[in-house]
Structure 1
Amino acid sequence: MPHEPARPTAPARFDPSPARVGLWLATCALSACATTPLPPPPAPPIASSATRAAPAPMSPAAPQAIQPVHPPAAAPVAAAAAPAPQAPSLVQPASPSATEGEAAARLLRYADRVRGLSPAELSLEIAAIGDPGGAPERQLQLALALMHLNQPVETARALGLAQRVANSAAPDSAPLKPLARLLAQRLLEHRKIEEALDKQNAQLREQQRRIDQLNERLEAMRAIERSINNRPPAPAAPAPRAP
């Protein structure tokens, strides 16, 4: 707020210099208020798609701080010494799969050998095997030899041997069970075929018997016909005499 000068009690002489200065200041203030504001600056041009797609320059990566590497702590002296490594054994235990494969391979080789034997040689092979007892491999060998005789009785015997090995609970039968089941399935199918052939043979024999009976009857009828044709004619009856 402007300071008002004290009014003199007595008329004094007026100094025009301060009044002019105040008037000039008021005029400048009014002219500043009436001045038209300047227009805003023009908007910057919109960047094109190529300009927008341009990647911003990457600032160089700041160098990472290098972590100091601490050496591992030394093991205590009182720790127990590690045992010395043992030399590998030259004898490796046979795995179950290898044992099973070897047993199956032996039986397959035996089956290939007995397949080319004659009936007389098969009989000698069966006699050489004898009673297999409880040995599963010998039981399957005997079954393979019996099945090549192509006789219903021997096929049934071979089927019993294969089923005995397949259903056995002995530990030495475990590697041979898959082959025993396969052999038993084949022998069972072979047994069914033999039974069907036996039935057909029985039917053929019955039909042949009937054919033979019909031939015998036909031959008897032909004999009767021949006997009738070969009979001499009966003598003619004498003519009656006149009275």
Structure 2
Amino acid sequence: MPHEFAPAPAPVPFGTTRARVGLWLATCALSACATTPLPPAPAPAPTGPALSPVSAASPQPVQASTPAAVAAAPVAPPMPSLVQPAQATAPEAEAAAQLLRYADRVRALTPAELSLEIAALGDPGGVPERQLRLSLALMHLNQPVETARALGLAQRVANSPTPEAAPLKPLARLLVQRFMEQRKLEEAMDKQAAQLRDHQRRIDQLNERLEAMRAIERSINNRAPAPAAPAPRAP
């Protein structure tokens, strides 16, 4: 049986196809406008001064601003000294410096060398410098008698009206004060030593009395007992 072919569809004109595509695109555009919200209006640009862009590679340090009205606290002036130093003359300064150097050398001497130095100074007479030298040597003996002697020599220089003693008077007055304090300490030590000797003497007396009582007790315990009396005989 022979095959039967269906008749071919009639060709669609090209203009009709373009019209359909355009209609479809218009429909899609209208639907997109109906569903997509409009973007917000751009914010107005600031009216302030324009800032220069800051480079990220070199950040600028932030400086704290200090109010100009705050003033620095006023610095209190130092308190004036109650004792104004006196200007020493050249002879006075040289004489005091020589005696201080001598005192430093004497301080390092041994007791035997110190005794030889005192013997070499001998009697200072009325020379103020030799008097102070001898007083500086005597003070290191640490003996009440020699300290009293050194005090007397320093007082003679401090009270001397001679021109030779004038440059040495400040140092002499300082030594007088030093020797007086040393004398007070030595007297206190002598008093304490006397009290210790008195306490030791009383302790020795009490020990002697205690030993005497122990001797009496031993003599009583060592005494031989008396013989017993004979018993009476029965008649």
Short-chain TM bin? 0.5 to 0.7
1:148: which partner in 2? 140
Q: 1:170 aligns with which of 146, 162, 171?
A: 162
Q: Is 2:234 the partner of 1:242?
A: yes
Taking the TM superposition and a 5 Å limit, the aligned residue runs for 1:1-243 are 97-243=89-235
Query: Cα offset for 1:123?
Result: 1.0
User: Percent of aligned positions with the same letter in both sequences?
Assistant: 83
Distance 2:88 2:216 in 1: 82
Distance 1:158 1:122 in 2: 14
Secondary structure of residue in 1 paired with 2:141: coil
Distance 2:174 2:232 in 1: 98
Query: Cα offset for 1:96?
Result: 6.7
Query: Cα offset for 1:238?
Result: 0.8
Query: Cα offset for 1:233?
Result: 1.9
Secondary structure of residue in 1 paired with 2:194: helix
Distance 2:207 2:168 in 1: 57
Distance 1:112 1:224 in 2: 64
Q: List alignment gaps of at least 5 residues for structure 1.
A: 1-94
Query: Cα offset for 1:232?
Result: 2.0
Distance 1:190 1:96 in 2: 28
Query: Cα offset for 1:234?
Result: 1.8
2:49: which partner in 1? none
Number of paired residues?
149
Query: What is the identity, as a one-letter code, of the residue corresponding to 2:167?
Result: P
Listed one character per residue, the Cα deviations across residues 80-121 of structure 1 (whole Å, up to 9, x for unaligned) are xxxxxxxxxxxxxxx971111111111111111111222221
Query: Cα offset for 1:143?
Result: 0.2
2:27: which partner in 1? none
Q: So what's the TM-score if we normalise by structure 2?
A: 0.61
Q: List alignment gaps of at least 5 residues for structure 2.
A: 1-86
Listed one character per residue, the Cα deviations across residues 35-58 of structure 1 (whole Å, up to 9, x for unaligned) are xxxxxxxxxxxxxxxxxxxxxxxx
Listed one character per residue, the Cα deviations across residues 194-240 of structure 1 (whole Å, up to 9, x for unaligned) are 11111111111111101000000001111111111122222111111
Distance 1:207 1:192 in 2: 23
Which 4+ residue blocks in structure 1 deviate beyond 2 angstroms? none
Q: So what's the TM-score if we normalise by structure 1?
A: 0.59
Distance 2:88 2:166 in 1: 10
Secondary structure of residue in 1 paired with 2:226: coil
Query: What is the identity, as a one-letter code, of the residue corresponding to 1:215?
Result: N
